[in-house]
Structure 1
Amino acid sequence: MVTLHTFQRQQVQQLTDFDQISELLLQPRTMIWLDLEQPTDAEIALLREEFGFHPLAIEDALQMHERPKIETYPGYYLIIFYSVEYDAKQRTLQFLPVALFVGANYLVSIRSGPVRHVQETLARWQSNGYMPGYQVSSILYALIDAIVDDYFVALDALGEQIDDIEDEIFQRGRHEVASDIFTLKKDLLLLRRIVAPERDILNVLLRQEVRIFHPRELTYVRDVYDHLVRITESIDLYRDLLSSALDSYLSLQGNQLNQLVKVLTLWSIILMSCSLVAGIYGMNFALMPELEQPWGYPFALGLMLTIAVGLAIYFKRRRWW
């Protein structure tokens, strides 16, 4: 799937004739946004022939698990960001890389699946009320800002899931709580591995090491940078909460095990006491007074019952069970 949009005179137009790209690139006042979803070999060839992208840059853009980064090439830049969606059914995060080629008057986005932020950004531009200026840097900011804003939605969903886990820890029969905790910790770790490099990307842009944004636009970029800092802090906080929840769960499991061992130990003491009486009367001595008495057997059982009840009452008063 490929879409081509032009921004000219505060209008957004979608083009279908890709032969016009060469002519449009020669027009400084016309901006091009080429969006490729699962590009074919012909579309990849278009990137090499029309835009002159380096083969290694195209290879990085097509990778599914490329680390977020920014690279400088003659006449353009390559930025890799990640879109994050929360899957409510699976209760996990879905990560989708978005590769962005940024030139003087064009933006090329490459993705392996649907990213709704592209259409949302176009809709904002068509409404002509999102951000002043019709430059590539403004479009790039609008897209990155939409992607980063969704991180908060994903974090809120994870926060609710953590609250549910904390409530379930003290419920009996929830043996899968530990599995849920480890799954959440894995998602948060993956999210942090994405957010931290993206924060470095914006830091590079803010320091003007790569001149993409005009100085008056840096305020907007700094706002996105602050969002990523807040997201990083929230991720660290959630990971600490999960670690505490896991410790509480393991402690609770240990307490339950200790309680079970204590109950079994008390029953063992009672049974050992009864076994002592049975062992004494089970010895094969000829001169045992009770052996020939008619009340000897009931006396032995009564003695066992008395010892068992007495020990049970003693343990109960001591609050050992």
Structure 2
Amino acid sequence: MPSKEETVCNHVQWIDFTQPTQGEMEQLAKRYGLNNYIVRDCLDPDHLPKYDLIEDVHFLILRFFSHSFDKQIATVQDLTNKIAIFYNHDFLLTLHKDEVRFIESIREKYVQPGKCSSTDEVVIKIILQALESFNNPVMRLSERIDFYENHILLKGMAHGYIEALYYIKQQASMCNKILLLMLEPINHIKANKQNSVDLQELKEQHVKIQTLYNQALEDVNNLMNLYMSFTAQRTNDVMKVLTIFSVFFMPLTFISGIYGMNFEYMHELHSKWGYPVVLSLMVLVSLGIYAWIKKKNWL
């Protein structure tokens, strides 16, 4: 089991686990008096952010963005990874599936004595880094939205745009949901003189990133509506052309249908000028229809 146990904040034991098993979690639960229900939540890879306080142990589940944009995905487990945190004044446990770079950097900074005042300060740094992992992805989403907006407005629509916009919307919506749930652990961090500035920065960063995702979600929804409007307009244009053609040919078909019945007592059939007269009538009818359509500004 890859794990590291070191002392931080002068006396607190920080134990960091990677891929803990069920048996290892049971040993931790006995060692630190952890509740079995929150240990079970800790092992759920799809669990969303949450906060619990049982006796004197704080339990947090955080999620940080880990998707590399190599394929179109929109599930919680594919977009993000989970970090579970147990802590109080005497210990700090962090558990995660894979190696987390910002966890290592925070450990290197605070493993030295006197570098932090409490476990709350370390937890604030971990949550802040988890939040900042969503910053670059929302910028990438905004760039992709701008790309599709320019192509739809200036270069016309292409096959596959609506599918791409759907995945952008799903990713923005999923991240926005995770950020909304991250507010619960943030609000339960206690502020003191030493960490009040860091806590305020954490809250401001949360508001900033969530605002960016809300804006991206609103932009992609507007773009999808615009795309659907253009699609409907194009369909209407096609139907308009087909309708105009049918307006021209319906009276002509009516006239030709009458004279195609070949009744014996149709005088025009035996008239020398019957054929050119009927053709002239068709031309006049067509010109009249054209003039009427132009007057209505349908062409």
TM-score (norm. length: structure 1): 0.78
Task: Give 1:264's aligned residue.
Answer: 242
Residue 16 of structure 2 corresponds to residue 35 of structure 1: yes
Question: Which of residues 221, 232, 256 in structure 2 aligns to 1:254?
Answer: 232
Task: Give 2:147's aligned residue.
Answer: 164
AA in 2 matched with 1:72:
L
Deviations 1:137-163 (A, max 9, x none): 333222222111111112111111221
The alignment partner of 2:134 has SS state of: helix
Q: Is the contact between residue 168 and residue 177 of structure 1 (CA under 8 Å) also seen in structure 2?
A: no
The alignment partner of 1:215 has SS state of: coil
Deviation at 1:305, TM superposition (A): 5.5
The alignment partner of 1:238 has SS state of: helix
Task: Give 2:127's aligned residue.
Answer: 144
Q: Is the contact between residue 86 and residue 157 of structure 1 (CA under 8 Å) also seen in structure 2?
A: no
Task: Give 1:116's aligned residue.
Answer: 101
Q: For structure 1, list consecutive stretches of 5 or more residues without a partner in the other structure.
A: 9-27
Q: Is the contact between residue 7 and residue 134 of structure 1 (CA under 8 Å) also seen in structure 2?
A: no
The alignment partner of 2:98 has SS state of: coil
Q: How many angstroms apart in 1 are the aligned matches of 2:188 and 2:29? A: 27
Residues 1-321 of structure 1 aligned to structure 2 (within 5 Å): 1-7=1-7, 29-92=10-73, 94-125=79-110, 132-133=115-116, 135-170=118-153, 171-205=155-189, 208=190, 214-292=192-270, 297=275, 300=278, 304=282, 307-308=285-286, 311-312=289-290, 315=293, 319-321=297-299
Distance 1:83 1:31, change over 3 A: same
Deviation at 1:228, TM superposition (A): 0.7
Distance 1:51 1:267, change over 3 A: same
AA in 2 matched with 1:174:
A
Deviations 1:108-151 (A, max 9, x none): 1112334332233335557x8xx943643333222222111111
Q: How many angstroms apart in 2 are the aligned matches of 1:166 and 1:3? A: 47
Q: Is the contact between residue 172 and residue 213 of structure 2 (CA under 8 Å) also seen in structure 1?
A: yes
Q: For structure 2, list consecutive stretches of 5 or more residues without a partner in the other structure.
A: none
Q: How many angstroms apart in 1 are the aligned matches of 2:139 and 2:150? A: 17
TM-score (norm. length: structure 2): 0.83
Q: Which moved more, 1:254-263 or 1:135-144?
A: 135-144
AA in 1 matched with 2:124:
Y
For the aligned residue pairs, the C-alpha RMSD in angstroms reads 2.9
Q: Is the contact between residue 69 and residue 80 of structure 1 (CA under 8 Å) also seen in structure 2?
A: yes
Q: Is the contact between residue 51 and residue 184 of structure 2 (CA under 8 Å) also seen in structure 1?
A: no
